[in-house]
Amino acid sequence: MVTLTINGLKVRVEEGMTILEAARFVGFPIPTLCHNDGLSPYGACRLCVVEIGQEPKSKLVSSCTYPVEEGLTVRTASQRVLKARGMIIELLLASCPQSKTIQDLASAHGVHQQRFKQEYEDCILCGLCVRTCSEQMMAHAIGFRGRGENRSIGTPFDISSDVCRLCGGCMYICPACQLRCTYNQPQHAICNACANLRPPCIEKEGYNNLMCYMEPCVACEIK
Partner 1 sequence: MSPEYIKEIVSNHKGELGALISILEDIQDRYHYLPEEALRIVAGETGRSLVDIYGVATFYKAFSLKPRGKHHISVCMGTACHVRSAPGIVDEFTLQLGLRPGETTQDGEFTLETVNCLGTCALGPIVLADGHYFSNVKRQDVKKILPKIKSGFVEEPGDREDRLFPVEVYCPHCNHSLMDEQNPIEDYPAISLGYSFNEMRGWVRMSSLYGSHCLESEHPIAADTTVKLFCPQCHAELVGKTACFDCGSPMVKLGFLGGGSLLMCTLWGCNNSEISLNGHHRRDEHTGESREHILG
Rg of the Cα trace of the chain? Answer: 19
Q: CB of residue 204 vs partner 1: minimum separation in angstroms?
A: 45
Q: Is 119 exposed, middle or buried (0-12, 13-18, 19+ CB in 10 A)?
A: exposed
Binding partner 1 (rule: CB under 8 A), the pick from 147, 149, 206, 209 is: 147
Element (H, E) at 144: strand 143-145
Q: Does 42 bind partner 1 (CB under 8 A)?
A: no
Binding partner 1 (rule: CB under 8 A), the pick from 113, 116, 146, 185 is: 146
Binding partner 1 (rule: CB under 8 A), the pick from 155, 210, 216, 220 is: 155
Binding partner 1 (rule: CB under 8 A), the pick from 110, 156, 186, 199 is: 156
**Cβ nearer to partner 1, comparing 167 with 220:** 167
Pairing, β 152-154 against β 9-13: unpaired
Determine the distance from the C-alpha atom of residue 134 to the mean position of all C-alpha atoms in its chain, rounded to a whole number.
20
Q: Does 169 bind partner 1 (CB under 8 A)?
A: no
Give the whole-angstrom CA distance, residue 96 versus residue 99: 6
Q: Does 160 bind partner 1 (CB under 8 A)?
A: no
Angle, vertex CA 35, rays to CA 77 and CA 94, nearest 5: 75
Q: How many residues bind partner 1 (CB under 8 A)?
A: 14
Binding partner 1 (rule: CB under 8 A), the pick from 163, 171, 179, 222 is: 163
Q: Does 129 bind partner 1 (CB under 8 A)?
A: no
**Cβ nearer to partner 1, comparing 127 with 200:** 127
Q: With b meaning 16 or more CB within 10 Å and e meaning fewer, what string describes 12-38? A: ebeeebbbbbbbbeeebebbbbbbbee
Residues that bind partner 1 (CB under 8 A): 134, 140-147, 155-157, 161, 163
